[in-house]
Amino acid sequence: MSPLSSVVVAGIGAPLVVIGIAALAGFAFGATWAIVVLVVGLCALASVHLWQLDRLAKWADAEADAPVPEGSGAWGVALSALYRRVRSRNLRHLDLATTIERFRSAVEALPDGMVIIDNANRIRWANARAQAHLGIDLDKDTGQPLQNFVRQPEVVRYLEVGDFADGVVFDSLREIGTTLAIQVVPFGIEERLLISRNITQLEAVARMRRDFIANVSHELKTPLTVVSGFLETLQDLELEPRQRARYLGLMAEQAKSMQRLVDDLLTLSALESDQNTLTEAEFDVVPLLLQVSADAKVLSAGRHVVALDIADPAMVIGSRDELGSAFGNLVSNAIRYTPDGGAITLAWHIDEDGRGVFGVTDSGIGIAPEHVPRLTERFYRVDRSRSRETGGTGLGLAIVKHVLLRHQAELDVMSELGKGSTFSVLLPARRVRRASANAPSDNATSPRPDPERESGSAPAHSSVSASSPSATNN
Q: In what order do the strands lie in the sheet with 305-310?
A: 305-310, 343-350, 356-362, 420-427, 410-416, 460-464
Task: Give how many domains the chain has, as a whole number.
Answer: 4
Residues 144 and 233 in one domain: no
Kindly report the CATH number assigned to the domain that includes residue 180.
Answer: 3.30.450.20
- Which one of 162, 177, 198 terminates a domain? 198
Domain identity same for 339 and 444: yes
pLDDT tens for 109-142 read 788 899 999 988 899 989 888 888 888 888 888 9
Residue 472 placed within a domain: no
Asked if the structure places residue 227 within a domain, the reply is yes
pLDDT digits (tens, 9 = 90+) for 258-291: 877 777 777 777 776 766 777 889 999 999 999 9
249 with 227, same domain?
A: yes
Domain boundary residue among 198, 219, 234?
198
- For residue 212, give its domain range: 204-272
Mean pLDDT calculated for residue range 8-34: 81
pLDDT for 383 equals: 62
Question: Please, are residues 407 and 318 in contact by the beta-carbon 8 Å criterion?
Answer: yes
Of the three residues 251, 272, 293, the one that is the final residue of a domain is 272
Residue 469 lies in a domain: no
Q: Please tell me whether residues 312 and 389 are part of one structural domain.
A: yes
Asked if the structure places residue 265 within a domain, the reply is: yes
pLDDT value at residue 356: 94
Residues shown for the chain:
474
User: Residue 13 pLDDT > 80, yes or no?
Assistant: no
Grade residue 210 by pLDDT with cuts at 50, 70 and 90: confident
The verdict on 329 and 412 lying in the same domain is yes
Q: Please report the pLDDT score of residue 177 as a whole number.
A: 81
pLDDT in tens, 293-306: 999 999 889 999 99
Distances (CA, A) of 298 to 293, 359, 394: 9, 19, 21
Q: What are phi and psi of 429, to 5 degrees?
A: -60, -35
Same domain, 116 and 144: yes
Residue 197: enclosing H or E segment and its boundaries? strand 191-198
Same domain for 75 and 26? yes
Domain co-membership, 79 together with 17: yes
Tell me whether residue 373 is in a domain.
Answer: yes
The verdict on 176 and 251 lying in the same domain is: no
Whether 457 is covered by a domain: the verdict is yes
Can you give the pTM of this predicted structure? 0.53
% of the chain at pLDDT higher than 90: 20
Judgement on whether residues 11 and 78 belong to the same structural domain of the protein: yes
Q: Do 363 and 407 sit in the same domain of this protein?
A: yes
Dihedral sign of CA atoms 83, 85, 87, 90 in order: negative
Question: Are 31 and 91 in the same domain?
Answer: yes
Quote the pLDDT of residue 5: 65
